[in-house]
């Protein structure tokens, strides 16, 4: 039989923003690279999440690549927050500009990756029957890329159309004249609901947990603002590295919520509300560490909800009371709460009585039956670990990644996993990734991975892997940092709480981008402390 195995220096799984930049970097180092992508185009999150209203919750001038100055100077964002179509256009522009597609195999899912410790080689197989080997394996599989479909009795018998926000049909969906039901009120739903309500005959929202949402105050980006930003682009990027979340606009607050009078605090929140976006969370130092401080911001937002929603009962249902503000991803919206004033929108609480079953064209909640034509599942993702665990990754010495992570993810810096040589994660668990400006964190990790691979090459080394103790210490540190905040108080996807049976461990690193980058720098200056080279 002819061996059709293809051999590369590196294989990258995923052609989202992480995989694309990784390919570009490794190619620049003279390596042969193959990227596998399950979609038929680049863009990752922005390829899959095409639901109405989908847009980034970080401003486009910041949420973009910084690695190439000509790219950031040439590209013109048209809106304050990038829309999904514009972000996808940007991803395609980058792919064209850097001629990335020739090394990407689309419509192909990596099924397994097995390491051979004797040859120090990874062998990958794909769902199209392909096999490839590489010394370096980079998982650019994304943090929110494995859609979670709820296990509701009878869901398979639903006779209408069903859509998951993270698997939205490319051709779009027309809801004209349709009775639509949507399950979920997270960031995706909060963006989709106002748009679907505009079109549909009727929309029923099934809400399990009310969410905090802040107006985005979205709008066009005028040329003057854009050009002023571009003039200072590098300065602004540098400033972002010095902030907790890698967002230049949101620097470190300097005072406690109780250093100021009630009136002053109210004014500050009002100003943040007018600014929109995540600004509110950056008003005071203790909003994410003190329940009392947090409650001042939470109550401020609840008051805005009560002012906006005309029906007091509906307003009260929409007021989040079971988690501190900011401990679940703060949603950004355009007229979300206002939508509940429409005659064609109904809110159904499914906290006390969950969705009992779905049958033919109905959603049943206890004794109440709701007839619908279309069902939207805005039910989120198996976040942070789902995509990597979906691949059968074996290290050749008796361990697989899913088993290694059975009690929750364990990584060193969110970058590598002990026992899995030459395998790298881009913004993996226990890195700031999802708690930061993602593209900034992606670029940081890609640069670290490129430096490690360059070191192997320069020093004629075979492999790099984190020491088990270094990993244990990093995991403990991650947990300590999280436990010093309010984050673990919410049953969030950060905690794995949205997936039945998933270990409840706070997954992102919340010590901040500035601290994380300083730690990485210190590790490098100390001979890549915690990494073992062979």
Q: Which residues bind ligand NAP (CB under 6 A)?
A: 55-57, 144, 150, 152, 165, 183-189, 191, 206, 208-209, 329, 332, 350, 354-355, 378-381, 493, 498
CA–CA dist 483, 494 (Å, integer): 13
Q: Which of 404, 384, 527 is nearest to 461 (CA)?
A: 527
CA–CA dist 303, 295 (Å, integer): 12
With contact defined as beta carbons under 8 Å apart, do 408 and 503 qualify? yes
Which DSSP state fits 464? E
Q: How many residues does the chain have?
A: 534
Q: Quick one: 309 or 378, whose CB is closer to ligand NAP? A: 378
For the CB of residue 77, give the shortest distance to ligand NAP in the complex, in Å.
15
Alpha carbon dihedral 459, 463, 467, 471, in 10-degree steps, equals 110
Owner of token pair 């994380």: 516
For the CB of residue 38, give the shortest distance to ligand NAP in the complex, in Å.
18
Q: Quick one: 144 or 318, whose CB is closer to ligand NAP? A: 144
Tell how far CA 15 is from the center of its chain.
Answer: 15
For the CB of residue 344, give the shortest distance to ligand NAP in the complex, in Å.
21
CA–CA dist 528, 14 (Å, integer): 27
For the CB of residue 108, give the shortest distance to ligand NAP in the complex, in Å.
25
With contact defined as beta carbons under 8 Å apart, do 383 and 143 qualify? yes
Q: Quick one: 55 or 389, whose CB is closer to ligand NAP? A: 55
For the CB of residue 372, give the shortest distance to ligand NAP in the complex, in Å.
15
For the CB of residue 321, give the shortest distance to ligand NAP in the complex, in Å.
13
* CA distances, 283 to each of 2, 259, 482 (Å): 64, 12, 20
Q: Quick one: 105 or 167, whose CB is closer to ligand NAP? A: 167
* CA distances, 425 to each of 13, 345, 416 (Å): 10, 42, 6
Q: Quick one: 12 or 214, whose CB is closer to ligand NAP? A: 214
For the CB of residue 42, give the shortest distance to ligand NAP in the complex, in Å.
18
CA–CA dist 76, 226 (Å, integer): 8
Q: Looking at beta carbons, which residue is closest to ligand NAP?
A: 186
Q: Quick one: 296 or 362, whose CB is closer to ligand NAP? A: 362
Q: Quick one: 355 or 520, whose CB is closer to ligand NAP? A: 355
């Amino acid at each position: 039989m002819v061996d059709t195995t293809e051999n590369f220096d590196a294989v990258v799984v995923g052609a989202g923003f992480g995989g694309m930049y990784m390919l570009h970097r490794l190619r620049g180092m003279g390596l042969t690279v193959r990227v596998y992508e399950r979609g038929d185009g680049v863009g990752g999150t922005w390829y899959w999440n095409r639901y109405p209203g989908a847009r980034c919750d970080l401003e486009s001038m910041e949420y973009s690549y910084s690695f190439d100055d000509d790219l950031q100077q040439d590209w013109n964002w048209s809106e304050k927050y990038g829309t999904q179509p514009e972000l996808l256009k940007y991803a395609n522009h980058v792919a064209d500009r850097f001629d990335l597609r020739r090394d990407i195999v689309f419509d192909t899912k990596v099924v397994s990756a097995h390491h051979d410790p004797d040859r120090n080689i990874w062998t990958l197989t794909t769902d199209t029957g392909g096999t490839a080997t590489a010394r370096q394996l980079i998982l650019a599989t994304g943090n929110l890329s494995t859609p979670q479909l709820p296990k509701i009795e009878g869901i398979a018998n639903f006779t209408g159309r069903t859509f998951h926000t993270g698997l939205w049909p490319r051709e779009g969906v027309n809801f004209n004249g349709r009775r639509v039901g949507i399950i979920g009120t997270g960031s995706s739903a909060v963006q989709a609901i106002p748009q679907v309500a505009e079109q549909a005959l009727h929309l029923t929202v099934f809400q399990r947990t009310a969410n905090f949402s802040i107006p985005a105050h979205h709008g066009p980006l005028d040329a003057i603002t854009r050009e002023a930003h571009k003039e200072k682009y590098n300065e602004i990027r540098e400033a972002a590295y010095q902030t907790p979340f890698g967002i230049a606009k949101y620097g470190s607050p300097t005072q406690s919520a109780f250093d100021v009078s009630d009136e002053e605090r109210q004014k500050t929140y009002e100003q943040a509300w007018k600014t929109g976006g995540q600004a509110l969370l950056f008003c005071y130092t203790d909003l994410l560490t003190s329940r009392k401080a947090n409650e001042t911001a939470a109550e401020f937002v609840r008051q805005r909800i009560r002012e906006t929603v005309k029906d007091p009962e509906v307003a009260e249902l929409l007021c989040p009371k079971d988690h501190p503000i900011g401990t679940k991803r703060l949603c950004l919206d355009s007229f979300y709460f206002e939508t509940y004033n429409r005659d064609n929108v109904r809110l159904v609480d499914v906290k006390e009585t969950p969705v009992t079953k779905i049958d033919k064209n109905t959603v049943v909640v206890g004794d109440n039956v709701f007839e619908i034509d279309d069902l939207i599942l805005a039910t989120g993702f198996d976040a942070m670990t789902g995509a990597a665990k979906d691949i059968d990754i074996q290290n050749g010495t008796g361990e697989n990644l899913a088993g290694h992570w059975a009690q929750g993810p364990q990584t060193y810096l969110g970058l590598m996993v002990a026992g899995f040589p030459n395998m790298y994660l881009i913004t993996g668990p226990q890195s700031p990734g999802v708690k930061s400006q993602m593209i900034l964190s992606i670029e940081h990790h890609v640069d670290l991975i490129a430096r490690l691979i360059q070191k192997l090459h320069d020093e004629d080394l075979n492999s790099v892997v984190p020491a088990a103790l270094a990993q244990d210490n990093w995991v403990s540190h991650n947990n300590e940092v999280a436990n010093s905040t309010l984050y673990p108080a919410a049953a969030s996807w950060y905690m794995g709480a949205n997936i039945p049976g998933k270990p409840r461990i706070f997954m992102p690193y919340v010590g901040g981008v500035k601290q994380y980058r300083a730690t990485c720098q210190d590790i490098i200056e100390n001979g890549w402390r915690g990494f073992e080279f062979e």
